[in-house]
Amino acid sequence: MKVLVNDEIIERNEAKVDIEDRGYQFGDGVYEVVNIYEGIPFTLNEHIARLYRSASEIGIKLSEQPAQLCNRLLELIKCNNMTNGGLYLQISRGVTNRTHQYEQTLTPQLVAYPLPYKSVQDAQAKGVEAITAEDMRWLRCDIKSLNLLYNIMVKQKASEAGAFESILIRDGIVTEGSSSNIFIVKEGVLKTHPANNLILNGITRTKLLEIMDVNSWEYKLEPFQKEELMEADEVFLTSTTSEVMPIIKIDGVTFSGAQPGPFTRKVQTAFSEAVKAETKTTTEKA
């Protein structure tokens, strides 16, 4: 495996992180995960735009232009002969003596490396289970930061319960999953939490809403209660690695006959077609 460290592509065993890197000590940084289909990073520009937004929101100043970073990531994909899989990249604030405050002159540190391909087709075909959990995270969930401790805790809780995801509830309102966005369908109308500080505006979520617009499918961006979740006709989640994933059971309650519902199936197909279209177009341009 070859990895990108700042502006250099090196062997995996040569990559080092300073013990006083603020990402290591404080989780002081931001990250992204990009899916790769047939050698093409899907929605790469959108992921990098969100990375730069997250960095800006926490005061990390990046001197490199987004297009330059995209080119280096494309080179990394090529060096690793990647066909299908993922790409993880993170930017920390930099290296300095350990204090909570920091100097504005720190040099951000970049690390990026490939993730192995992991098929989710079987789970997408059958659907997955979820549990609910209290959303006790900070109030800037729109920033994709390295601070994932609570997300990890509730994800582990789901795993130990034999479930795929934890659906987070804040003051009775469904916000999102521990690593996903949550959608419900009731009487043919899709509903999901609006993109504000209480959720991460997922790239797959955004892409899916674009698909909804193109097809004139009805949806609402508004908060909904846990009671609405539990009374929904269909429930599914979206994320980069899970794409569109049906949820057929929550806290022991079964949805849509314990199988992916018709609206969810329709959305899955439309999303797959969007992936094929973008990767084909990118390949033709290359």
Catalogue the active-site residues. 144
Distance between CA atoms of residues 74 and 78, nearest Å: 6
The torsion defined by the Cα of 53, 57, 60 and 66, in degrees rounded to 10, comes to 10
Task: List the beta bridge partners of residue 85.
Answer: 36
Helix axes 262-285, 203-214, angle to 10 degrees: 100
Distance between CA atoms of residues 245 and 242, nearest Å: 6
Distance between CA atoms of residues 152 and 180, nearest Å: 13
Q: Are 180 and 163 in contact (CB under 8 A)?
A: no
Q: Which helix (H) or strand (E) holds 267?
A: helix 262-285
Q: Are 102 and 36 in contact (CB under 8 A)?
A: no
Q: Are 38 and 47 in contact (CB under 8 A)?
A: no
Separation of first and last alpha carbons in the chain: 24
Residue 256 gets which letter from DSSP?
G
Residue 199 gets which letter from DSSP?
S
Distance between CA atoms of residues 160 and 178, nearest Å: 14
- Give the residue carrying structure tokens 């909804």: 212
Q: Are 55 and 91 in contact (CB under 8 A)?
A: yes
Q: Are 188 and 158 in contact (CB under 8 A)?
A: no
Strands 128-134 and 109-115: unpaired
